[in-house]
Amino acid sequence: MKAKVYVTLKSGVLDPQGQAVGRTLGKLGYEGVKGVRIGKFVEIELEVDDPKLAEEQVTKMCDELIANTVMENYRVEID
């Protein structure tokens, strides 16, 4: 199975990178960009077949390693 993990900054946590990109988009003439926040996308290939088990495993991986839960949220999708 394949798991897709979207890691995003928790709301309220400063995203200097997103801010800098937002400002540059403005300078390039893209008006109306209200905000930019940048996250990570992670694909994980798993040997298990049970979607529930897969989600459990990946959730554990996220808590332990993939996301920094002090400042990041994550969302797991299983295909």
Distance CA 57, CA 26 (A): 41
Residue 61 to residues 12, 32, 37, 55, 71, Cα–Cα distance (Å): 24, 37, 23, 10, 16
Is residue 33 a contact residue for other proteins (CB under 8 A)? no
Q: Which stretch binds other proteins (CB under 8 A): 24-32, 39-47, 49-57?
A: 24-32
Is residue 23 a contact residue for other proteins (CB under 8 A)? yes
Is residue 64 a contact residue for other proteins (CB under 8 A)? no
Q: Residue 71: which of 37, 22, 20 has the closest Cα?
A: 37
Is residue 30 a contact residue for other proteins (CB under 8 A)? no
Q: Which residues bind other proteins (CB under 8 A)?
A: 10-17, 19-21, 23-24, 27-28, 38, 68, 70-71
